Chains A and B, each alone.
Chain A
Amino acid sequence: MEYVNPEGLRLDGRRFNEMRQIVAEIGVVSKADGSAVFEMGNTKVIAAVYGPREIQNKSLQKNNDHALVLCEYSMAHFSTGDRRRQKNDRRSTELSLVIRQTMEACILTELMPHSQIDIFLQVLQADGGTRSACINAATLALADAGIPMRDLAVSCSAGYLNSTPLLDLNYVEDSAGGADVTVGVLPKLDKVTLLQMDAKLPMETFETVFALATEGCKAIAERIREVLEENTKQLEYRRAA
């Protein structure tokens, strides 16, 4: 099947290095300490952060002088075409672990000993790139909650189809059988916190795809920064009034 036509347009009309439209909003769950909705094209994810608060299950605490970060990823039953998902299936467990490790590396956990930070991620609409959207939503929610972080953890995916590296795959492109590289970075510190790949790629191709995904991450970081600054200005404006 042709995923990139001879003019260089993909199935949804994007070019190889174009991301899908991003819509982001914070403060959407009023009961949570921090929350955010993050959309990448048709993929829509909601994140809610509770913390830092008292540890609920002391047996989980391994390190007394660091905060405990817990993460739960789940997909709504209506998020994909066929009503699916029994709870705790292997993919959800794996993604919960991966996202938890990414965010834990970014949060300054040593500033909040004896406490716990809960990150809840719910996929409302799945159209490829859900783990990237979740990491971006979690970053926004943590920043909204005022939890100190090293940098903004951002994530983006890229793939390789019809001999072309493609940025930000949607579900159809992801299911095509080509490689799917998900990258998570701390843009200002220039560090990689997540790197996952499905399928196989030759090394030079991998370098190109990885570089493309990192570029996408930098663009998302800019957008997240804008959303946070806009929100802060709104809060200051309302306070002064």
Chain B
Amino acid sequence: MTTELVTPGDVIGKASELKAGKGAYVNDTTIYASLTGTRRIVSPLPESLDQRAIVEVTGHKAHALIPEPGSVVIGRVTKVMARMASVDILCVGSKAVYEKFPGIIRQQDVRATEIDKVDMHLSYHAGDIVRAMVLSLGDARAYYLSTAKNELGVVSAESAAGETMVPISWTEMQCPLSGQTEQRKVAKVGS
């Protein structure tokens, strides 16, 4: 694997032979680097139609970490309203973001079935930690998130008594201290 140090603007390949990956961009027929780092060639996935190898530049700074459509994020619910819940996005993938991003989960994106019968207050409470997927960049104020999958939803919540609850089913969590069950859209953890 040949590696060399490149800086922004350096020519790292031809668009006819290679595809531009992370840290690279195409102008006309040439691929240039957009970050400072090491140039690497990654072989293409066997099932992809385009069999060109991908050239990418790995930088040293971890950020430019922002939610992208399709990425799984972890956030804290800040407000629950009649038709949506506000979420502060805290992590993208497995990395924490430097500054919080605002997100909302709309009533129709809470779960996959019977989406018009969803009661937001039986799905989330303020303070719950949720795992969600980014649907889109949303409007000017917040990202649109969805928990309409088995592995998405509330991962950690505090009961009225103040203890972290244990999940019982995909709709209920129980407080170990008081024995009270509370309703949430629970995420399925584990295989």
B8 close to A148 (CB less than 8 A): yes
Q: Which of A33, A54, A58, A228 contacts B7 (CB 8 A)?
A: A228
Number of B positions contacting A (CB below 8 A): 31
Contact with A along B33-63 (1 / 0, CB 8 A): 0111110000000000000000000011111
Chain B residues whose CB sits within 8 angstroms of the CB of A149 once the complex forms: 8-9, 34-35
A186 located at the interface, meaning its Cβ lies under 8 Å from any Cβ of chain B in the complex: yes
Chain A residues whose CB sits within 8 angstroms of the CB of B166 once the complex forms: none
Chain B residues whose CB sits within 8 angstroms of the CB of A88 once the complex forms: none
Chain B residues whose CB sits within 8 angstroms of the CB of A224 once the complex forms: 7
Chain B residues whose CB sits within 8 angstroms of the CB of A188 once the complex forms: 9-11, 32
Chain A residues whose CB sits within 8 angstroms of the CB of B5 once the complex forms: 229, 232-233
A111: shortest Cβ distance to chain B, in Å? 8
Stretch touching chain B among A119-127, A139-147, A159-167, A203-211:
A139-147
Q: State the majority secondary structure of interface residues on A.
A: mixed
In the complex, A111 Cα to B68 Cα: how many Å?
10
Do A150 and B25 form a contact, CB below 8 Å, given A143-B8, A228-B36, A232-B5?
yes
B90: shortest Cβ distance to chain A, in Å? 12
A58 close to B141 (CB less than 8 A): yes
Nearest residue, chain B, Cβ from A144:
B61
A5 located at the interface, meaning its Cβ lies under 8 Å from any Cβ of chain B in the complex: no
Do A54 and B100 form a contact, CB below 8 Å, given A189-B27, A232-B36, A232-B37?
yes
A146 close to B137 (CB less than 8 A): no
Pull 25 A–B residue pairs with CB atoms less than 8 Å apart, ordered by A. Answer: A33-B63, A34-B61, A52-B63, A53-B98, A53-B99, A54-B102, A58-B140, A108-B25, A111-B64, A114-B137, A143-B8, A146-B61, A147-B64, A148-B34, A148-B35, A149-B35, A150-B34, A151-B9, A189-B32, A224-B7, A225-B7, A228-B36, A229-B5, A232-B5, A232-B38
Chain B residues whose CB sits within 8 angstroms of the CB of A151 once the complex forms: 8-9, 32
B96: shortest Cβ distance to chain A, in Å? 13
Which chain A residues in 15-57 approach chain B with CB under 8 Å?
Answer: 33-34, 52-54
Chain B residues whose CB sits within 8 angstroms of the CB of A112 once the complex forms: 64, 66
Chain A residues whose CB sits within 8 angstroms of the CB of B9 once the complex forms: 149-152, 186-189
A113 located at the interface, meaning its Cβ lies under 8 Å from any Cβ of chain B in the complex: yes
In the complex, A84 Cα to B140 Cα: how many Å?
40
A92 located at the interface, meaning its Cβ lies under 8 Å from any Cβ of chain B in the complex: no
A80 located at the interface, meaning its Cβ lies under 8 Å from any Cβ of chain B in the complex: no
In the complex, A225 Cα to B15 Cα: how many Å?
24
A131: shortest Cβ distance to chain B, in Å? 21
Nearest residue, chain B, Cβ from A221:
B9
B31: shortest Cβ distance to chain A, in Å? 12
Which chain A residues in 190-240 approach chain B with CB under 8 Å?
Answer: 224-225, 228-229, 231-233, 235-236
